């Protein structure tokens, strides 16, 4: 998270952060809430690939994006 914040704070250009929701090779969950907060703080766009989280993660199987709502 420290490295991401450092990179987001470097300049004022438009930024996009792209991450997986669940990394398929080992099943690790991304730190989506923390990433989302950093994106909001620095005005960056967050793009989430949650293909491995659909119907599996979240309170009702809606994927990891449901934790941000």
Position 18 scores a pLDDT of: 95
Query: What CA–CA distance (Å, rounded) separates 2 from 26?
Result: 23
Query: What CA–CA distance (Å, rounded) separates 21 from 39?
Result: 15
Query: What CA–CA distance (Å, rounded) separates 2 from 25?
Result: 24
Question: For residue 5, is pLDDT > 90?
Answer: yes
Query: What CA–CA distance (Å, rounded) separates 37 from 1?
Result: 10
Position 13 scores a pLDDT of: 85
- Number of domains the chain contains: 1
CA dihedral 53→59→46→52, nearest 10 degrees, is 0
Dump pLDDT digits (tens) for 14-66.
Answer: 999 999 888 877 778 888 889 999 999 999 999 988 776 666 676 666 667 66
pTM of the model: 0.76
Question: For residue 4, is pLDDT > 80?
Answer: yes
Range of the domain at 11: 2-68
Position 68 scores a pLDDT of: 63
């Amino acid at each position: 998270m420290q490295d991401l914040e450092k990179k987001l704070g470097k300049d004022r250009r438009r930024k996009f952060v792209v991450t997986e929701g669940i990394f398929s090779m080992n099943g690790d969950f991304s730190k989506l809430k923390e990433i989302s907060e950093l994106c909001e703080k620095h005005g960056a766009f967050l793009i989430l690939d949650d293909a491995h989280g659909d119907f599996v993660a979240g309170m009702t199987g809606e994927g990891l994006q449901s934790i941000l709502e």
